[in-house]
Structure 1
Amino acid sequence: MIIKMLLVTIVLMGAVTALFAIRIIFRKGGKFPNTHIGGNRNMAKRGIYCASTQDKIASKDKRHILKDTLS
């Protein structure tokens, strides 16, 4: 029973993976969609960035503040 369920799961996962691959390979300009926050123009217009971008911005601001206080 467990082996049968495991086999069905593997077959289903393989089918889903194959369908995604076919969609990406045969579609014109096919590639994985960019679902990252940084790839969304509307979020960028609102000033909403991903965590790594916000960290870079904060680090840059801290360096400017530190540089100004030491001068």
Structure 2
Amino acid sequence: MEIVIATIILTGVAVLLLGIKIFFVKGGRFPNTHIHNNESMRQRGITCARDQEFYK
């Protein structure tokens, strides 16, 4: 039972640390990692499969 409680606490701390910017910064959001919003991918000509299907 001690291992389960320790795991829950460690998981909670990890989630809190990963979400510091989102939880504590006004207007904080998760970063948008979608391909069509990434300028480096667009410069290389890499596009999203969803966009390829949409434009056909």
Instruction: Map 1:1-71 onto structure 2 (within 5 A).
Output: 3-57=1-55, 60=56
Percent identity reads 46
Q: How big is the shift at 1:28? A: 4.9
Cα offsets for 1:2-57 (capped at 9, x unmatched): x2222211111111112233321323542111222222112112221122112223
Q: Which has the higher helix share?
A: 1
Q: What is the CA–CA distance in structure 1 between the aligned matches of 2:49 and 2:7, rounded to whole Å?
A: 35
SS of corresponding position for 1:34: coil
After TM superposition, the runs of 4+ consecutive aligned structure 1 residues lying more than 4 A away are none
Q: Which has the higher contact order (CA 8 A, sep 6+)?
A: 2
Which amino acid in the other structure matches residue 19 of structure 1?
A: L
Provide the alpha-carbon RMSD of the alignment: 1.9
Which residues of structure 2 form unaligned runs of 5+? none
TM-score for both structures, normalised by structure 1: 0.59
Which residues of structure 1 form unaligned runs of 5+? 61-71
SS of corresponding position for 1:6: helix
Which amino acid in the other structure matches residue 47 of structure 2?
A: Y
TM-score for both structures, normalised by structure 2: 0.68
